[in-house]
Structure 1
């Protein structure tokens, strides 16, 4: 199958997972078929794959919670990182005060916070500094839901000086093919097509 199939109920799970679909397309499919549309692109992809495979509608995990006094308590460097960490304005204010106004909740730091429940905020500050240091030394890993960003970055790394419209043309060609969506030199064939 050379051409990307239309996303509909007749697709099988393997074919669906073998092609690239925009988040808007995934959300539209979910709406049309009574699936929840909450969450990120990976959540929608997993939900649709499960639906195509089993016919069952997966419900998102409930994340509603009541606010306790400990949720609103002041954060200190010795405060343990809470379970189910959520980036909030009180957390942002704490880190900006301790780290500086340049602080941002980058993806690597968010993952660290979520994976290190019980460690202290002092350790989180140290981890943030280490993450920034590591970032300077190596290429940043871009999460799967940002395949376009990874592709464009890798295109320019291999084709310095080429314009963005050529990178986008190659990306559109690539996402229409079955398989992975990582940049390959052979994708440049898209530039010779009319």
Structure 2
């Protein structure tokens, strides 16, 4: 089965069965005069709603983007709508290590901080490191593929992993990503 084109007449269940790049979703939304902002999950929900004939999810209902203070300390209370940006990265690098990387635990905390401080975020981050790598969310399927491919083929090259990804991407997700139902 060949991968279908993303068109307005595509059936929702067919759309859901395939992997789409964020850029493809943005281009499709733009062609439909729909909002093109947001995460890949936001875009996927928007396209699915549009293809299903349902109202598009209201992008305005999301928390307003918060303004971050110029100086960040462990006592700083995390505000709603803060972006994971260079300033936050600098804070975490200074309090952890140069190898710091935003992980799923921190992304979840910053989505709904509920008055927590950066000190509490540091605890969440350190705790998540002790638990090992978290499952990669569905919108990051490429990352999951790369992790799984090298676990199964430790001597493989990046080119081989990318070639396997291109082959996987041409297969419906219902067959390839069935364990990932998030």
Matched residue, 2:18: 19
Structure-2 change in CA distance of 1:165 and 1:90 (3 Å):
closer
Conserved in 2, the CA contact under 8 Å of 1:13 and 1:53? yes
Output the aligned Cα RMSD.
Answer: 2.9
Matched residue, 2:102: 105
Q: Give the gaps of 5 or more residues in structure 1.
A: 185-194
Conserved in 2, the CA contact under 8 Å of 1:7 and 1:29? yes
Matched residue, 2:120: 123
Q: Give, in angstroms, the shift of residue 128 of structure 1.
A: 2.0
Q: Give, in angstroms, the shift of residue 102 of structure 1.
A: 4.6
Matched, 1:154 2:153: no
From the CA coordinates, give the structure whose radius of gyration is larger.
Answer: 1
Structure-2 change in CA distance of 1:76 and 1:155 (3 Å):
closer
Structure-2 change in CA distance of 1:43 and 1:114 (3 Å):
closer
Structure-2 change in CA distance of 1:169 and 1:75 (3 Å):
closer
Q: Give the gaps of 5 or more residues in structure 2.
A: none
Matched residue, 1:36: 35
Conserved in 2, the CA contact under 8 Å of 1:156 and 1:167? yes
Q: Give, in angstroms, the shift of residue 11 of structure 1.
A: 0.8
Structure-2 change in CA distance of 1:114 and 1:13 (3 Å):
same
Deviations 1:3-61 (A, max 9, x none): 11111011111110011122221111111111111012111111000000015444423
Aligned length in residues: 177
Structure-2 change in CA distance of 1:121 and 1:156 (3 Å):
closer
Structure-2 change in CA distance of 1:176 and 1:100 (3 Å):
closer
**What is the alpha-carbon distance in structure 2 between the residues aligned to residue 63 and residue 13 of structure 1?**
28
* TM-score calculated relative to the size of structure 2: 0.77
